[in-house]
Amino acid sequence: MRKNATLLAGLGHYTCPQSGGLVPPVQSSVTSVIDGSEGALGYARSGNSSVLLAESLLNTLENGQGCAFFNAGASAAWAVLSTLTPGDGVILEADCYYEFRTIISRYCQRQGIALTLVDLCNLEAVGQATRQGHTNLIWAELPTNPLWKIADIAALAKVAHRVGARLVVDATVATPLWLNALTLGADVVLHSATKYLNGHGDLTAGALVTARPDAWWQEIIAYRTASGSVLPAMEAWLLLRGMRTLALRVERASENALKIARWLAQQPGVSGVHYPGLEQNPHFARAEAQFSGGFGAMLSFQLSAGAKAAAAFCRRTRVFRHSTSLGSTESLIEHRRSTEGEGSRCPDDLLRLSVGIEDCADLLADLAQALDATVNA
Ligand SMILES: *Cc1c(COP(=O)(O)O)cnc(C)c1O
């Protein structure tokens, strides 16, 4: 089997059946001729040829048995939620991406589904929250956002499977290159492909990869067709262009992040650094055991000078852009509490960095001058 970087660089050795081209065309037709031939696509609400190619690549990267791309990470999440029925139960990582916490909470409330927020690193708490016949999903995020905590996927899968529940892992920040949650026992992996998979901040997309092409998975595929939430042909084509450089991008971004985390940990004005790749981080051992090749490009740090200084810090950086989101080529900084708004569980002195692929010396110098100005303000 070819290595991931090789697979991605050449889109799995793609050759266009019509032209012999090495790059797929944008096949935007809504419908195709019914001539009984294999590979005819039918109606575009259920897929398009660029989506099929992207699905086959991500399925290989994740060791999956089926992959489906959606027009956003949120639609992929909605597809999973659509399989639940009133009376079902969901356990959700408490420190998860705040918008998913909101979306999932509202959905469960309306549908009469019992939702429990749990720190999934605390297996005892997970065990207590899980009930035979009442828990249908455990929804994990690895690493969590914005504290980048690392749960033990194999242990969670065991707890889930003991009561007949499925384990969903949102691996957006881990990327399919650093973490393979299905191999560790998860039932389905979710990616916001808006982030690293596309990697250029110019489209929204989401994906699910399953460990089994069972009836539950077929329900998810049927939901995608029924809701019209498949990734459209143009976006799928653009996504493929982004995916070709995924390995290069995440390697560089992860290297930069590790250097920045180590540097921040030595600054007197910084009271805490959250990055699972630091040896002193309480999640380092679990990260090392489950990740390969890097620890990710997301990190957070807290300022001794407090909340106001943290909010001001974002306005002082010149290379890091003051913006939300993650996984694009450029580095971003945000005062996370302000982004999350009401109901945020994030410490108010915390700054979140999405580290990009710039020259690391420029990133370090930028943080140094902003820190200097903050400490001397
Ligand atoms: C952005 C993000 C999502 C949501 O994905 P969209 O593509 O914006 O719908 C879900 N999970 C995580 C971890 C994210 O960062």
The candidate with the shortest Cα–Cα distance to 160, out of 63, 98, 83, 89, is 89
Strand partners, 89: 114
Q: Look at residue 207 in the predicted model and tell me its pLDDT.
A: 98
Q: Is the dihedral of CA 63, 180, 78, 28 positive or negative?
A: negative
pLDDT mean across residues, the chain: 96
Q: Say whether pLDDT at 175 is over 90.
A: yes
Provide the CB-side half-sphere exposure for 233 (13 A, CA): 15
Which residues are bridge partners to 137 per DSSP? 90, 166
Q: What is the pLDDT of residues 95-111, one digit of tens each?
A: 999 999 999 999 999 99
Please provide residue 156's backbone torsions phi and psi, each rounded to the nearest 5 degrees.
Answer: -65, -40
Domains annotated on the chain, with CATH: 28-241 (3.40.640.10), 245-376 (3.90.1150.10)
Encoding tokens for residue 61?
A: 């990267």
**For ligand 1, is residue 73 a contact (CB within 6 Å)?**
yes
Question: What was the pLDDT predicted at 89?
Answer: 98
pLDDT, mean of residues 206-224: 98
The answer to whether 363 touches 319, Cβ cutoff 8 Å, is: yes
Residue that has been written with the tokens 């994030």 in this structure: 346
- Does the beta carbon of 173 sit less than 6 angstroms from any atom of ligand 1? yes
Provide the pLDDT for residue 376. Answer: 80
What's the pLDDT score for residue 313? 96
CB-side neighbour CA atoms (13 Å) of 241: 11
Out of 222-226, 278-282, 305-309, pick the least confident. Answer: 305-309
pLDDT in tens, 319-353: 999 999 999 999 999 999 999 988 888 999 999 99
Plot region of 296 (φ>0 → left; ψ -120 to 50 → alpha; else → beta): left
Least confident of 1-5, 50-54, 67-71, 295-299: 1-5
Question: What's the average model confidence in pLDDT over 4-17?
Answer: 96
| Three-class DSSP labels, 47-69 | CCHHHHHHHHHHHHHCCCCCEEE
The one-letter code for the residue type at 314 is C
CA of 177 to the centre of ligand 1 (A): 17
Residue nearest to atom 5 of ligand 1 (CA): 73
Ligand 1 and 336: CB distance under 6 A: no
Query: Is ligand 1 within 6 A of the CB of residue 294?
Result: no
For residue 170, pLDDT over 90 is answered with yes
Residue pair 347/302 in contact by the 8 Å Cβ criterion: yes
Q: What is the whole-number distance in angstroms between the Cα of residue 95 and the centre of ligand 1?
A: 14
Residue in 71, 100, 189 to alter for ligand 1 test, most ligand atoms within 8 A of Cβ? 100
Question: What is the mean pLDDT of the segment spanning 268-272?
Answer: 94
Q: What is the pLDDT of residues 141-162, one digit of tens each?
A: 999 999 999 999 999 999 999 9
Angle between helices 73-81 and 98-111 (to 10 degrees): 30
The whole-number pLDDT of residue 159 equals: 97
CA dihedral 293, 299, 304, 308 (to 10 degrees): 170
Average pLDDT rounded to a whole number, residues 167-175: 98
